[in-house]
C-alpha cells in the first residue's frame, strides 16, 4: 500500500462517482428517435448532466425543461435547466414543475416524452395536489425528514399529496410514447421509489400514507387530512391506460458504483468486500454494526495479507434531537470513530455521491485511528457532538470534511472502511 490511507479512500469514492457519471452512462440507453418531436422533462440532482448527455447525443427536434438543486445547473443548447430547493421544496420548484407538466401535456402521438429522473426529484418535482398548498408540503416534508422516517415512507406520503409524482406525470401527459431514464439512489433500485415514480404505476396507497403520518406523529392541516381521506385521490395503478405506452430504464445504480470502487481497490492491491448496496437504519446503529465487523476482520487477518476494504451503500437516517449541523454520512463516521475508539490501522470515508451530506456543503468526511485523540487535544467531546447531531461541526473543527462540490450524479451513500 504505497499511498496514504486517506488518498486511497478518496480514490475509491471518486471511482464510484465516475461510474455513475451521466456523460458515460446515459448515451447508451437513449431510445430510438421518434417521428415527431422529443420533449425532455425531468428532475433530480443528476438531471442537468443527464440532460446534457441527451442534448449532445440525441438527434432531431429536441426541447424541454428539467429542474435540479440550486448550484447543480448547467447551460445547455436545446434543453432548459431550472434550479430549485432541496430537500425542502420551494416556489421555484413548483413553478418549474408546473411548466414540466404543461410541456408533457403538449405531446402528440408521433412524439417522444423523454423523462430524466434521479435522486432528489421527489423534492424538486413539486406540484401540490388540488387543495394542498406548498406550505403544507414543506411542513410535512421537513417533519418527516427530522423524524428519521425511511425514504420509502417519506415518498409514499409525498406521492399522495402530489399532482405529478406516483405515476401522475404519465397520466397527465399527451398520447406520446413515454420513456424514462433513471439513476437510482434507492435501495432495491425500484422505479416506483426513484424520484417518487412520476411515470410508473404506484403500488402504495392512501391508507399507507395515513398510517405513516400517524406513526411518526406528523401534524397535518385539515385540508391535508381531508385529501388523504378521500378515495378519489388515490394514485394511478397498473391498469391505467397511460402505462401501456410508458417504459422506464435504469442507467446507473449504487451497486455499479460499489463495483467500480472494488475494481479500483484491487488495482491498488487492496482486498475489497462489498457488504451491500441497500444498508438502511439509523446512522449510529449502522456504525456500531460495522465497528464490530472491523474488529472481527482485523482479528482474523493473516500476516502479509493485503489490507481489507469494506464497502457499503444504501441510505442511513438520522432522527434529529439536537440543534447541530450534519448529515447521515458524517453522523455515521462520528459514531464509528466513537465505537472504534482509536482502533489501530483503521481508516474510513463516508460520503453522499451527490456531493452534499444532508443540507451541508460537504459530501462527507474522513476518520482515522487518531481522530478522537486529535479531537480531545482540541477540547472537543465527540459524544457531545453526536448527541447534538453536530457531526459537521466536529469534522469541520478537525479539518476532516470531504468537500467535492456538486458531482451532478446521485447513487446514494458511499462508505469505505480500510483495515490495514
DSSP string, 23-49: HHHSGGGPPPPPSS-EEEEEESTTHHH
Question: How many residues are there in the chain?
Answer: 420
Report the mean per-residue pLDDT for the chain.
96
Largest CA distance in the chain: 68
Task: Provide the angle, in degrees to the nearest 10, between the axes of the packed helices 222-229 and 206-215.
Answer: 140
Which residue's C-alpha cell is 402528440?
A: 108
Tell me which DSSP letter residue 301 carries: P
Q: Does the pLDDT value for residue 285 go beyond 90?
A: yes
Model confidence, pTM: 0.92
The Cα 21–Cα 301 span in angstroms is: 35
Tell me which DSSP letter residue 78 carries: S
Mean pLDDT of 330-357: 97
Residue 358: predicted pLDDT: 84
Is residue 1 very low, low, confident or very high in pLDDT (cuts 50, 70, 90)?
low
Residue 301: predicted pLDDT: 87
Is residue 2 very low, low, confident or very high in pLDDT (cuts 50, 70, 90)?
low
Mean pLDDT of 371-395: 97
Q: Which domains does the chain have, with CATH numbers?
A: 5-16+255-419 (3.40.1480.10), 22-252 (3.40.50.10180)
Residue 124: predicted pLDDT: 96
Count of Cβ atoms closer than 10 Å to residue 149 Cβ: 20
Is beta strand 346-352 parallel, antiparallel or unpaired with respect to 413-419? antiparallel
pLDDT digits (tens, 9 = 90+) for 56-76: 999 999 999 999 999 999 999
Residue 228: predicted pLDDT: 97
The CA-atom distances, in angstroms, between 6 and each of 257, 367, 368, 415 are 19, 9, 8, 13
Residue 150: predicted pLDDT: 86
Residue 314: predicted pLDDT: 93
Residue 264: predicted pLDDT: 97
Mean pLDDT of 377-406: 97
Task: Provide the angle, in degrees to the nearest 10, between the axes of the packed helices 134-147 and 222-229.
Answer: 80
Cβ(367)–Cβ(416) under 8 Å?
no
Q: Does the pLDDT value for residue 146 go beyond 90?
A: no
Tell me which DSSP letter residue 162 carries: B
Sign of CA dihedral 3, 356, 327, 412: negative
Q: Which three cell numbers stand for residue 67?
A: 429542474
Residue 290: predicted pLDDT: 98
Give percent of the chain with pLDDT exceeding 90: 93
pLDDT digits (tens, 9 = 90+) for 10-25: 999 999 999 999 999 9
Q: Does the pLDDT value for residue 91 go beyond 80?
A: yes
Q: Which three cell numbers stand for residue 133?
A: 398548498
Peptide bond into 87 cis (omega under 30): yes
Cβ(84)–Cβ(96) under 8 Å?
yes
Cβ(43)–Cβ(176) under 8 Å?
no
Amino acid at each position: 500500500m504505497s499511498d496514504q490511507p486517506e488518498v486511497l479512500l478518496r480514490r475509491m469514492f471518486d471511482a464510484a462517482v465516475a461510474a455513475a457519471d451521466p456523460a458515460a452512462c446515459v448515451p447508451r440507453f437513449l431510445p430510438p428517435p421518434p417521428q415527431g418531436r422529443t420533449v425532455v422533462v425531468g428532475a433530480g440532482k443528476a438531471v442537468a448532466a443527464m440532460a446534457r448527455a441527451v442534448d449532445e447525443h440525441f438527434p432531431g427536434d429536441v426541447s424541454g425543461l428539467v429542474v435540479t438543486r440550486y448550484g447543480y445547473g448547467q447551460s445547455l443548447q436545446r434543453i432548459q435547466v431550472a434550479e430549485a430547493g432541496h430537500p425542502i421544496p420551494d416556489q421555484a420548484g413548483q413553478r418549474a414543475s408546473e411548466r414540466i407538466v404543461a410541456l408533457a401535456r403538449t405531446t402528440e402521438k408521433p412524439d417522444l416524452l423523454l423523462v430524466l429522473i434521479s435522486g432528489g426529484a421527489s423534492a424538486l418535482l413539486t406540484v401540490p395536489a388540488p387543495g394542498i398548498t406548498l406550505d403544507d408540503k414543506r411542513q410535512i416534508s421537513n417533519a418527516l425528514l427530522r423524524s428519521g422516517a425511511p425514504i420509502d415512507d417519506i415518498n409514499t406520503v409525498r406521492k399522495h399529496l402530489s399532482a405529478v409524482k406516483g405515476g401522475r406525470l404519465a397520466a397527465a401527459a399527451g398520447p406520446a410514447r413515454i420513456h424514462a431514464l433513471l439513476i437510482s439512489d434507492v435501495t432495491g433500485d425500484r422505479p416506483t421509489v426513484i424520484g417518487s415514480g412520476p411515470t410508473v404505476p404506484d403500488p402504495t396507497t392512501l391508507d399507507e400514507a395515513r398510517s405513516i403520518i400517524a406513526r411518526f406523529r406528523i401534524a397535518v392541516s385539515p385540508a391535508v387530512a381531508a385529501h388523504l381521506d378521500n378515495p378519489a385521490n388515490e394514485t394511478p395503478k397498473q391498469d391505467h391506460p397511460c402505462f401501456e405506452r410508458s417504459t422506464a430504464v435504469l442507467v446507473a445504480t449504487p451497486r455499479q458504483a460499489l463495483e467500480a470502487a472494488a475494481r479500483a481497490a484491487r488495482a491498488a492491491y487492496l482486498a475489497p468486500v462489498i457488504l451491500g448496496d441497500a444498508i438502511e437504519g439509523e446512522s449510529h446503529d449502522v456504525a456500531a454494526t460495522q465497528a464490530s465487523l472491523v474488529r472481527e476482520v482485523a482479528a482474523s487477518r493473516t500476516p502479509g495479507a493485503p489490507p481489507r476494504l469494506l464497502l457499503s451503500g444504501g441510505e442511513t437516517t438520522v432522527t434529529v434531537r439536537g440543534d447541530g449541523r450534519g448529515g447521515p454520512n458524517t453522523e455515521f463516521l462520528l459514531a464509528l470513530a466513537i465505537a472504534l475508539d482509536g482502533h489501530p490501522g483503521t481508516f474510513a470515508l463516508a460520503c453522499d455521491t451527490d456531493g452534499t451530506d444532508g443540507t451541508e456543503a460537504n459530501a462527507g468526511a474522513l476518520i482515522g485511528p487518531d481522530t478522537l485523540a486529535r479531537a480531545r487535544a482540541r477540547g472537543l467531546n465527540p459524544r457531545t457532538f453526536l448527541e447534538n447531531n453536530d457531526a459537521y461541526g466536529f469534522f469541520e473543527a478537525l479539518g476532516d470534511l470531504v468537500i467535492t462540490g456538486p458531482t451532478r450524479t446521485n447513487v446514494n451513500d458511499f462508505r469505505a472502511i480500510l483495515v490495514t
